[in-house]
Amino acid sequence: MDALELEIYKRYRNVIDPDWQSGSGLLGTEWNEPRRVRLGDLLDLYDAFCFDGYGTLYNRGSFVYEGALEWFSTLRAAGKQVRLVTNAASNVESVLAAEADARGFDFTAGETVSSGSLAASFFEQRSRTGNAIRELYYIGRPSGVAVLESFGVSAVENPECPVVAVSSATADESMFVHAVRILQKPGATLLVLNSDAWAPNIDGSRLPVSGALAERLRRESGCDDVHYFGKPFPAIFNKVKFSLPAGSRILMVGDTLGTDVMGARYAGIDSALVVGRNEPAAELKADERALGIVPDYYLEV
């Protein structure tokens, strides 16, 4: 794991659980070595299977990972509940579900939970408390502007109140500098709509994305009012739980130790990590030790 990436995921854990490094946090310090399993080994153990999207089932364009469609069809045939749980923040659930469907995964909008949708509750709460956000400086894909507008928020160059929202790593140097200037103003707020720090490419390489950009903005500006949306933070997992029948035995399947696995553990959900995509196999054990987090399973294709 890149050094900055590791620092970001440690920061996320500190936000969720400030006492974890002292040994008095919410999770215990002992764990079992994860089992190496195939999906069929887990069918009788869980009622609901939650999947990360990019890096786990598919990647950019029409790329689908080997075995992913077979996983999905097996679960559908077995009558299992399925959920797409994604940090993609530039589209609403219906669009994200349609994009997954075009790749062969027929998630419905009701089976899709995205970090972007969680911002709606945040903006509503701000309005109720008299601190409404009506404008912000936005860094992200153009489709995300419409998502913000559906929440009653406009993306502008110079917002009246100093608020910056990040949903993807699409900022050039001038945009970065402008965002830093906004965040250096008194009372500034940074909204990290997509907290993914690194993401895998189809060719196996990895690159920093929105969470890394947001962390650079935070450090450069000194902004201390930062709000994170999506995995590994609790709200997205609470929404997943609420969407499922009470008492469901839930498994989270993902490719990222610091978002999919960490978030699942804090939510009391079992997890399976697909190694070698967004978690380099050669660095796995060192990263697990550094973060103090391991999955319940390593899922093999």
pLDDT of residue 117: 85
What's the average model confidence in pLDDT over 15-21?
Answer: 95
Does domain 3-10+34-115+231-299 bear CATH number 3.90.1010.20?
no
Residue 28 has pLDDT above 80, yes or no: no
pLDDT of residue 23: 87
Architecture of domain 117-228: 3-Layer(aba) Sandwich (3.40)
pLDDT of residue 68: 97
Residues 6+ apart with CB under 8 A from 234: 16, 263, 266, 267
Question: The tokens of 73 are what?
Answer: 């069809």
Average per-residue pLDDT in the chain?
95
Kindly report the pTM of this predicted structure.
Answer: 0.96
Which residues in the chain are classed under CATH 3.40.50.1000?
Answer: 3-10+34-115+231-299, 117-228
What's the average model confidence in pLDDT over 37-58?
Answer: 97
Amino acid at 162: P
